[in-house]
Amino acid sequence: MTSALSDRSTDILARLTALRQADAPTHGGRVLSYVYDSGLAELDELAAEAIRIMQPVNGLDPTTFPSVAAMERDLVGFARRMLHGGDDVTGSVTSGGTESCLLAVKTARDVWRAAGGAGAPRLVAPVTVHAAFSKAAQYLGLDLDLVPVSADGQVAADALTARFGPDVALVVVSAPAYPHASLDPIAAVAAAAQAAGIACHVDACIGGWVLPWWSPDDPLPTWDFAAPGVTSISADLHKFGYAPKGASVLLHRGRDRHRAQYFATRRWPGYPVVNATMLGSKSAGALAAAWAIVERLGESGFAELAASCRRSTDAVTTAIDAIDGLRVVGSPVGPLCAVATDESLPAQRRVDPHHWADRVRSHGWLLQLQPGHLQSDGSRLPHTTHLTITPVTESVLPDLVAALRTAADEVRGVPAVTADDVLGALPVGFGDVLGSLANRSRPIDSAEASALLAGIGIRSGGALPERMAPLLALLESLPAPLTERLLVELLAGLVDP
């Protein structure tokens, strides 16, 4: 294939290959977040060829390119059967989980307004709901009402339903929630939402394509359209649908609800615009890759991959629970979990999950550090380390478990980095700068933010430190708006030419 290319093009592709050397490995199971490796090389080849065929097709207009509608219809149909939706369930393929979540919120907001809702609508959800809903609330003008969860990440149905009122446009529950893999009390919340006339979205972005086959012998509590009152569900194809990034499904119960997701206008001098999703022009490549993979796997293929994830998840969580000083948080449902320190043990036997993640990384495995979180009721969720298990994990299981054990042995008894540690280690005068920022109405600008980052050892455009535990502790101890501004500066600096 590359033989048809000129030398210049070949050189350009070589540069791309070289750029990838710096990236975390997307295959092989060493990265336990971000990537979802089926372990089946054929699926990657199939997806690449599907993208190649459909790459130039514009998903903007399924009337000009009927292939787009055909693939989308198949995917929506498959997802509807998988999620126990009846004939009244329909939906769209979107570019990813965030877009599905944004559109679920937009739809609920517009349905609420059409039913006479006025003012700012409210979105009720457990605090563990994905940050995409915080983004949606911010973008779309809803008040976000986050309900505290217990220490094991679980929320009580009545804690959510107690917040219901005429201004609530949407309640969101997750299957499961990303931080701790807790399965929210979906059936009870959906039933109460229906009685109150409130839309209920199930965020199954991560669980949607794996939970249907998770527990064939011991059914999970009802979490999909089989629960009356569930009005929409998001399920990401580019997670446990094993598709390349850029594909998710959003389903609605009720055609009119689905139609409320659309944007249409003929009030400009150009072509009439009708968009099911947020993007306009888009390649049909991601849709085609997802379609091809779902066609290839079918029910039985997904069931086999889910069974592999299940075996590996059980093995990993059992191994972690057996490590002195660590514990798996709550009762995770699905191929992911969070790990916290075991506070029932004396300090010298505890393992701090962030020191642990840093050590695991030095052994060649990438886990995801999650900060602690102060909830609105004053209770604190501990900082944790997140693992997502995929089918490829099974092929590296003994090595992974060995690395998890060894790393724990290496940091057992090392106390967690505290806010005082990190604030005390900051350059002299840093505290004064923070204080003056706090007392000032003008927001900090880019120059000030990059100076603050430099003060904590992060150069503009530079790499993150080898050890992430101190950085996480720092981010956790600074005021949230300042942390958020510094993170923006850090990421914006990466692409600033």
Binding site residues, ligand PLP, CB under 6 A: 96-98, 101, 130, 132, 174, 178, 203, 205-206, 236
CB of 32 to ligand PLP, least distance (A): 14
Nearest to 176 by CA among 163, 189, 185, 164: 185
Q: Where are the alpha helices (DSSP H) in 350-445?
A: 353-362, 393-411, 419-424, 430-438
Q: Which positions ≥6 away from 166 have C-beta within 8 Å?
A: 117
Query: Between residues 33 and 483, which has the closer beta carbon with respect to ligand PLP?
Result: 33
Nearest to 421 by CA among 488, 370, 357, 354: 354
CA distance 368 to 338: 9
Query: Between residues 43 and 101, which has the closer beta carbon with respect to ligand PLP?
Result: 101
| Residue 34 neighbours by CB distance under 10 Å | 12
Query: Between residues 231 and 341, which has the closer beta carbon with respect to ligand PLP?
Result: 231
CB of 199 to ligand PLP, least distance (A): 17
CB of 201 to ligand PLP, least distance (A): 11
CA distance 293 to 50: 9
Exposed e or buried b per residue across 111-124, where buried means at least 16 C-beta atoms within 10 angstroms of its C-beta: bbeeeebeeebbbb
Query: Rg of the Cα trace of the chain?
Result: 24
Query: Between residues 155 and 478, which has the closer beta carbon with respect to ligand PLP?
Result: 155
Query: Between residues 130 and 485, which has the closer beta carbon with respect to ligand PLP?
Result: 130
Contact 341, 353 (CB under 8 A): yes
Query: Which residue(s) pair with 351 in the sheet?
Result: none
Query: Between residues 78 and 133, which has the closer beta carbon with respect to ligand PLP?
Result: 133
Contact 407, 356 (CB under 8 A): yes
Query: Between residues 109 and 359, which has the closer beta carbon with respect to ligand PLP?
Result: 109
CB of 98 to ligand PLP, least distance (A): 3
* 184's tokens: 């929210």
Contact 224, 204 (CB under 8 A): yes
| Residue 66 neighbours by CB distance under 10 Å | 10
End-to-end CA distance of the chain: 33
CB of 127 to ligand PLP, least distance (A): 13
Residue nearest to ligand PLP (CB): 97
CB of 486 to ligand PLP, least distance (A): 22
Nearest to 429 by CA among 445, 450, 461, 451: 451
Contact 122, 115 (CB under 8 A): no
CB of 29 to ligand PLP, least distance (A): 19
CB of 368 to ligand PLP, least distance (A): 12
Query: Between residues 89 and 102, which has the closer beta carbon with respect to ligand PLP?
Result: 102
Query: Between residues 26 and 67, which has the closer beta carbon with respect to ligand PLP?
Result: 26
Helix count (H) and strand count (E) of the chain? 16, 15
CB of 286 to ligand PLP, least distance (A): 12
